Structure 1
Amino acid sequence: MERRSFLKMSAALSAAATVTGCNSSSKDVEEVVPDEGATEEVVSWSACLCNCGSNCPLKVFSKDGKIVRIENEVFGDDSFGNHQIRPCARGRSNRKRVYNPDRVLYPMKRVGTRGAGEFQRISWEQAISEIGDKLKGIYDTYGTRSVYYQYQSGAYYDLNGSSTWRRLLNCMGGYLGYYGSYSSAQVSRMYPIIYGSNARSTMLESHNSDLCLFFGFNPLEIRQSGSGEGYEFAQIKNSVKTILFDCRYSDTVAGSKIEYHACRPGTDAALISGIAYHLITNGMINEAFLRDKCYGFRAEEAIPEKGLAALPYERSYEAYILGVGELDSIAKTPEWAERICGVPASTIRSVAEQLYAAKAPYIVAGYGLNRQANGEHNVWASAALCSLLGAVGKRGTNTGHMPNSRNNLSSPGFPSVSGNEQAKISVFTWPDAIRNGKDMTAFKDGVQLPSDELDENGDGKLNADIKAIINFAGNTLINQHSDCFATAELLADESLCELIVVSENHMTPSAKFADYLLPDSSWLEKDDVANQSYSAGSMSYITAMTAAIEPLGECRGTYDVCAALAEVMGVGAEFSEGKSYPEWLKEYYETLVAPQDEIMPATLEEFQQTGLVKKFNPLSESHCGLYGYVNNGGELNTRSGKIELFSHEVDFMNKNWIKPDYVVGLHIPPIPAYIVTWEGYEDSSPEIQDYPLQLAGHHTKGRTHSSFHSVQWLREAVMDAVWVNPKDADGFADGDWVIVESLRGKIKVRAKVTNRVMPGVTSMPQGAWFSPNGDVDEGGCINTLTAYRPSPIAKANPQHTNRVRIYKA
């Protein structure tokens, strides 16, 4: 695909929305055009492995050792259920990603301060020797908990990715792990408390619904591949009534019949409480479902065999909604909710009545709700709304969670080796583990420890500081974490974390903080296996990745790097088991992947010749979350055995966990209550009164998180700008360069003045690369503005809770 065609396609997609060892030029790499007629084109298969949830297969054409274009697969007649898997603009730009001028081509060692991006080129032999010696020394001196494998989502390989690095570290005895993710830590922590698992329905199950209700859910931008959940929703968006609450008029809404209502960030639990009040007071709830399948809607008797004391009515969810509970004496009327969330009371009543009238309402809370300072209770409220209606486990309904994909083909990743280390921290709290991990505790920081390290109350200490970080294909070292300037200052202190190893394709902001920067070969330069990832809808597929070209420069695959490090650290035999990478790949496919289904070719050679296998999973009861529990009986894996609208586990946290000094409202209420937060709409703290605007982030079609940011075609196709309502554009106009400032820092970015964001709220594309110039980030990274303040239960990122001011640059 050429640039002109690419931009035309990108415009069509957006029509609904108006250093040493690396080439540092800002222009596109000048690719050598193959001689006409020199050789025939060679076709190979690869996949786009970014964290969009689809891993779209790519049909790659090369000539004379150069990639010349990328196309989608064309198997099947393209009818729904036999449809083609069509990569979006990002997938189709992979040729530019391979030949990007910021490719890291050689092993490098830092010579300047961390973050300066000053490196010298070294040999692979030197890199492996020095990293292996230093990493082993840290293991020997500080122990396994001092080595941290950082969260990453930039490359979803089977054998050349995260599982390979983890295997290496487990061969050394283990490493400090994490729980959660930067996308969904709060909901992933809460749903096992509410439902006993992360139970949910597929997007395809919405085809059985007669009403979709979305809170901050934007499938046509975040799930935009040609086979994924966005494609499945597109089949019904104009035939099934859909209501969507969001602070921004997204591309999911644009050009459709969707009923859209603006709602302030972080107030969704208040909105849902107003809906609940109308349902309860007008007899519109499912009493039988609440009695038989739920716990805590009203008073509950003691359950001695489960260790649960009696629950008095005033502690129940209904008592809270009616204003007669222990938390407050305020009835959660639609008028009360309107003052907080900005949605008119009449609209709240209308939505409640439409939900009651629906036979099978399909309710989704987007992950943006969970990335708030009160994210755990926002998503709990969405689950509670489903229960009030009895809209769980019934065909056409959901659990309030983001949809999942019911895959019937899979691949497990590199076979693991068991390590001895069991301790985990929240994915978000690694800076605290660098500063003072020794004093991090279960009750203060959410540290997860083996039972023999906990006291009689369940508390315990981590007793270790992070001294080494392994970062593979991840930008959370700086760019996707909060408070970039403070994080940069922390990482620059070499007396704390002693070793940072980054393996990357590109000179990302995180790569600039490496002590050793290793050049990873790109997706189109490797032989591997790739499954459909986690949100590809009901079309399962597995791609036989075969290298289209030889790796550029001295780039190497992850397996070869880890095998070499294992030899230096004395665990080579345990890591490799005496097998080369080609031998591993063949054995892995033929013993773990091929036997699962008769449609899979039996041998690796046959699979690579085929290139792609796909299989549709048609609608069935398995697509409906909690169908078995609701229809067949039994218990859930919760404290009560039922869906929990009151949680004794959360109540224990509220009574025993340490309350941070930045909390301004309720800490951890044991019901899905609305919580006033720091820097939220209702925060009246003196230090933020000069910061009147709420700021949230959003996804765009030009990046997946921070992946693809350096692809110039995509920057031309999708402009990075802060969205501002005309009522809030004071002293600047559309297209002007502005400064967006929070208590943490300043960024310089263009303004998009538009009615597509509600008054009092601003929104920015997340993922732009941090590029500081003095005290201003001229790269426009939203996380320069966000706060490092872990959320109450999951101890996770609250990156949509911000107050800012904006003025002309």
Structure 2
Amino acid sequence: MLGSQNSALSRRTFVKGSALASLGAAAFGSGMLFGCSPESEAPKEEAADDVLKTGATTVGAEETITWGHCAINCPGRCSLKFHVQDDEVVWVDTYTSSDAGFDDPQPRACLRGRSYRRWMNSPDRINYPMKRVGKRGEGKYEQISWDEAIETATTKLQEVIDKYGNEAVYVPYATGVSATTSRPFNRLLNLMGGYLNFYNSYSTAQISCITPYMYGSKGNGGSSFSAAEDAKLVLIFGSSPTETRQGGLTTHYDWVHLRERTGAKIYMIDYRMNDSVMGHSEQWLPINPGTDAALVAGIAHELIANNQVDLDFLHTYCVGYDEETMPEAYQGKNMSYRAYIMGEGYDMVEKTPEWAAAITGISADRIRSLAEEIATTSPLYVNQGWGPQRRSNGEWTAWSIMALPCLVGQIGLPGTSNGTREARNSPSLASMSAGENPIKTSIPCFLFTDAIDHGTEMTSKNAGVKGADALSVNIKYMINYAGNCLTNQHSDINKAHEILADDSKCEFILGIDTVMCDSMNYSDIVLPDLFRFEQTSQIATGSDWGYVITGTACTTPKFERKTAYEMASLMAEKLGVQDEFTEGKTEEDRIKEQYEESREKDDELPTWDEMVERGVYTRAYDPVVSMKKFRDDPAGNALDTPSGKIEIFSEKLLQFTEGWELAEGDTLPGMETLPPIPAYIPEWYGVETTTDEFPLVLAGFHYRGRIHSSWGFLPELKEVNPQEAWINPVDAEGRGIKQGDTIHVKNEFGEIELLAKVTPRVVPGTVAVSQGAWYDGDGLGSVDKGGSINTLTTQRPSPLSKGNPQHTNICEVTKA
């Protein structure tokens, strides 16, 4: 039986005595698990910089090297180089200057990636199919055969389809695997009549939703960081590339490269002095979280009041700035952006710098001086990360930041951007076709727990249901592949536990993963997955550079682990659709076939054999200047917005959301509709809505030690990246809290325990907790000693995109 940490039989007990336990003990004893090179094999000339390369190795064993890639939801997806002896990985390296010239860019893995050997050989690794023998969420399992696992999973799938229909089947949002063949279960379900779709992502729901209303849907993303080298002023709202996108050739690399080469003044606008501020950033502008739109409004007021807006640009390229550019049906109603800023419409409040200062925590004088710099400095490069939009007012925050460069005409020119996130380049690779889903209904991915609990109450007007006016049935069957979003990365973990633990609601959950994360504890059947580097795999990614990594299996499959493609094939066989599923092809056949399709469209790509041999293929890209073609010829290169222009006022949004059921706080005070302009909306749980019981704002951030919850269980990484709550000395002193104290952070949704990081690098009144820590509680309201911020977040979605507002929280902090 496999149990949780709280059960009598632990995961480590389960594997004790197995071949894996013997392997793990030997590897730990030799000190070789942390991606370390065998000392006896290291060339003498490399010894000086082999800081991590210690340990012994098998004497006389022949070493082979295979390439692979990280497949976690990190844009880097960097190269991994596996050194293998006797069918075991002895250490993990990455692409370095020894693989190419020193001038060649290198998609080198970060230290998380180089620690994969810890994860591969962890005592917590899932080795066999298992079935649940306790209550949902208890984590009690026993080993079963593959035949029983597949029989149980397919029989229940067919029962659910026969009883409820295909709309009752769902594949939840998950990001644990990224590769060109990562959708086998979607393909299987489409052959079975389809499943309920989702839209949005946990990362970008709000900004992805609002951007098409302003710029259209044809990929009008931001300029690349390399384009910012021509800028004179760079404004970064809520982004930290060195923390969120680590790796040798992803945005981390681009950001550091930009800082070293640009002569621009750089301002980082964030509630934390994040790690990307270090180095050459000119200044940290500390701001209260969730108030970026108020800052932009205060800047806009100063620009308008001093006649410093670019009226020629606004009148030529934009809709909705002032009465002159409003759609005819809305003229004379004070519904323009200018009317909102100057207090002539909407909430009738003038957005002066003093007004903005009271909300943002940035002084009125500083707002005025920043507005003066923006008005008089060009080129201006405005960029935003995904943190500011992951809030209850995130759609309007993202929209406001995008409006800022429009006010001064700094779009489409060298050294400028359009206020969205930086551009990323990549060679294009074909992916395995999932086929066509006969079910057209979809829900926002964040609302899957609602769809389990009361799906038939969800409509297009109250929950963003698409493809139908309402759901016809609740979710009854889920396939959770490589995801920890059922609980840990979802919101309000205690509420999620309550819904998922009731197996009369969602009647069956099939879980597939490499280790038992918290979400896997709700599986009725567990299947043991292989890493992408334990099989043939290929992925393309990039930023200012693009690259393709082609990997082969580093070892033969251990124990009874299988690829997801094999698992789906076994299910297809039981369900009578194997021929249609495989089409006579193995997964490797498909990868090769897909690659040849890609080469037909891109003749620069090497042959398959060349790609396998070299492992890593890189390609340089020219800097991307966002919306240059539109700036050069707005008529000939019209946007695909209704007007063909940049829409600072969106009639489309106003009409689309007409009649929506809104909750208190979803819109501006006194309004019954969502604002059709980039406005500041106070958060439900924010600086303007704290209470005596919960007087502090609580916000999350991404952490160096994890990508979301991936790597969150590894003891070695947890030791060097402890889970901490950042708290300002002003807030800590009054609570008797000192650096390193164990503290509790609490609100109406739950309570967590973690360490205190007392630092002036977070604004007063705000507590910052990194997201992704592994939940360690009972789901029944006990203190979560893992320190997962989602014990404290709400399942209430943002009003337009129905996205997750996981940075919108209030709390109290006490010493434990």
TM over 0.5: yes
- 3-state DSSP of counterpart to 1:443: coil
Per the alignment, residue 588 of structure 1 pairs with 594
Q: Distance in 1 between matches of 2:405 and 2:503?
A: 50
Contact between 1:237 and 1:258, CA under 8 Å: does it hold in 2? no
Per the alignment, residue 168 of structure 1 pairs with 188
Asked if residue 501 in structure 1 is aligned to residue 510 in structure 2, the reply is yes
Contact between 1:20 and 1:120, CA under 8 Å: does it hold in 2? no
- 3-state DSSP of counterpart to 1:252: helix
Per the alignment, residue 287 of structure 2 pairs with 263
Asked if residue 553 in structure 1 is aligned to residue 582 in structure 2, the reply is no
Per the alignment, residue 10 of structure 1 pairs with none
1:614 partner letter = T
Q: Distance in 2 between matches of 1:142 and 1:20?
A: 37
| Percent pairwise identity | 37
Contact between 1:89 and 1:701, CA under 8 Å: does it hold in 2? no
Question: Post-superposition shift, 1:556?
Answer: 0.5
Q: How does 1:99-110 map to 2 (within 5 A)?
A: 99-110=121-132
Q: Distance in 2 between matches of 1:755 and 1:631?
A: 46
Q: Distance in 2 between matches of 1:693 and 1:654?
A: 33
Q: How does 1:614-763 map to 2 (within 5 A)?
A: 614-619=618-623, 623-634=624-635, 635-653=638-656, 655-661=658-664, 663=666, 665-666=668-669, 668-683=674-689, 688-729=691-732, 730-763=735-768
Cα distance, 1:22–1:530 mapped onto 2, change above 3 Å: farther
Q: Distance in 2 between matches of 1:654 and 1:420?
A: 27
Q: Distance in 2 between matches of 1:286 and 1:202?
A: 24
**372, 384, 399: which is aligned to 1:365?**
384
Contact between 2:236 and 2:269, CA under 8 Å: does it hold in 1? yes
**460, 483, 487: which is aligned to 2:496?**
487
1:214 partner letter = I
2:605 partner letter = M
**511, 514, 527: which is aligned to 2:523?**
514
Higher relative contact order (Cα pairs below 8 Å, separated by 6+ residues): 1
Number of corresponding residues = 761
Question: Post-superposition shift, 1:209?
Answer: 1.7
Asked if residue 70 in structure 1 is aligned to residue 99 in structure 2, the reply is no
Q: Distance in 2 between matches of 1:645 and 1:348?
A: 22
Per the alignment, residue 49 of structure 2 pairs with none
Once the two structures are superposed, what CA deviation does each residue of 1:511-569 show, in whole Å capped at 9, x if it has no partner?
A: 1111111110113311111212xxx3122111111111122321100110111111111
- 3-state DSSP of counterpart to 1:51: coil
2:547 partner letter = Y
Contact between 1:98 and 1:524, CA under 8 Å: does it hold in 2? no
Once the two structures are superposed, what CA deviation does each residue of 1:666-687 show, in whole Å capped at 9, x if it has no partner?
A: 4621111110121111116xxx
Cα distance, 1:723–1:25 mapped onto 2, change above 3 Å: farther
Question: Post-superposition shift, 1:767?
Answer: 0.1
Contact between 1:742 and 1:785, CA under 8 Å: does it hold in 2? yes
Contact between 2:667 and 2:675, CA under 8 Å: does it hold in 1? no
Per the alignment, residue 608 of structure 1 pairs with 612
Once the two structures are superposed, what CA deviation does each residue of 1:411-443 show, in whole Å capped at 9, x if it has no partner?
A: 121123112111111111111111121221111
2:747 partner letter = S
Per the alignment, residue 155 of structure 1 pairs with 177
Asked if residue 59 in structure 1 is aligned to residue 81 in structure 2, the reply is yes
Asked if residue 800 in structure 1 is aligned to residue 801 in structure 2, the reply is no
Per the alignment, residue 88 of structure 1 pairs with 110
1:177 partner letter = N
1:266 partner letter = G
Cα distance, 1:55–1:302 mapped onto 2, change above 3 Å: closer
Contact between 2:319 and 2:325, CA under 8 Å: does it hold in 1? no
Q: Distance in 2 between matches of 1:663 and 1:357?
A: 36
- 3-state DSSP of counterpart to 1:553: coil
Question: Post-superposition shift, 1:640?
Answer: 2.2
Q: Distance in 2 between matches of 1:78 and 1:196?
A: 42
Contact between 2:268 and 2:281, CA under 8 Å: does it hold in 1? no
1:231 partner letter = Y
Contact between 2:315 and 2:325, CA under 8 Å: does it hold in 1? no
Q: Distance in 2 between matches of 1:230 and 1:580?
A: 36
Q: Distance in 2 between matches of 1:481 and 1:316?
A: 37
**785, 795, 802: which is aligned to 1:788?**
795
Deviates more, 1:734-743 or 1:649-658: 649-658
Asked if residue 378 in structure 1 is aligned to residue 391 in structure 2, the reply is no
Contact between 2:229 and 2:258, CA under 8 Å: does it hold in 1? yes
**412, 416, 420: which is aligned to 1:401?**
420
Asked if residue 192 in structure 1 is aligned to residue 212 in structure 2, the reply is yes
Q: Distance in 2 between matches of 1:121 and 1:24?
A: 10
Question: Post-superposition shift, 1:582?
Answer: 3.4
Question: Post-superposition shift, 1:752?
Answer: 0.6
1:387 partner letter = C
**277, 282, 303: which is aligned to 2:301?**
277
Gaps spanning 5+ residues in structure 1: where?
A: 1-18, 454-459
**455, 460, 468: which is aligned to 1:437?**
455
Q: Distance in 1 between matches of 2:665 and 2:649?
A: 25
Deviates more, 1:225-234 or 1:652-661: 652-661
Contact between 1:189 and 1:794, CA under 8 Å: does it hold in 2? yes
Cα distance, 1:553–1:417 mapped onto 2, change above 3 Å: same
- 3-state DSSP of counterpart to 1:656: coil
Once the two structures are superposed, what CA deviation does each residue of 1:79-129 show, in whole Å capped at 9, x if it has no partner?
A: 3xx311111111111111111221111111111111111001111111111
Per the alignment, residue 776 of structure 2 pairs with 771
- 3-state DSSP of counterpart to 2:381: strand
Q: How does 1:244-263 map to 2 (within 5 A)?
A: 244-263=268-287
Once the two structures are superposed, what CA deviation does each residue of 1:233-255 show, in whole Å capped at 9, x if it has no partner?
A: 21222532101111111101124
Q: Distance in 1 between matches of 2:249 and 2:369?
A: 34
Question: Post-superposition shift, 1:648?
Answer: 1.2
TM-score using structure 2 length? 0.90
Contact between 1:539 and 1:616, CA under 8 Å: does it hold in 2? yes
Contact between 1:483 and 1:788, CA under 8 Å: does it hold in 2? yes
Q: How does 1:90-239 map to 2 (within 5 A)?
A: 90-159=112-181, 161=182, 163-197=183-217, 198-200=219-221, 201-238=223-260, 239=263
Question: Post-superposition shift, 1:665?
Answer: 4.8
Q: Distance in 1 between matches of 2:295 and 2:14?
A: 49
Question: Post-superposition shift, 1:46?
Answer: 0.4
Q: Distance in 1 between matches of 2:801 and 2:326?
A: 28
Q: How does 1:562-581 map to 2 (within 5 A)?
A: 562-581=568-587
Contact between 1:540 and 1:616, CA under 8 Å: does it hold in 2? yes
- 3-state DSSP of counterpart to 1:722: strand
Q: Distance in 1 between matches of 2:238 and 2:654?
A: 28
Question: Post-superposition shift, 1:661?
Answer: 4.6
Q: Distance in 2 between matches of 1:215 and 1:529?
A: 33
Q: Distance in 1 between matches of 2:75 and 2:315?
A: 37
Contact between 1:21 and 1:105, CA under 8 Å: does it hold in 2? no
Q: Distance in 2 between matches of 1:654 and 1:523?
A: 42
Cα distance, 1:314–1:353 mapped onto 2, change above 3 Å: same
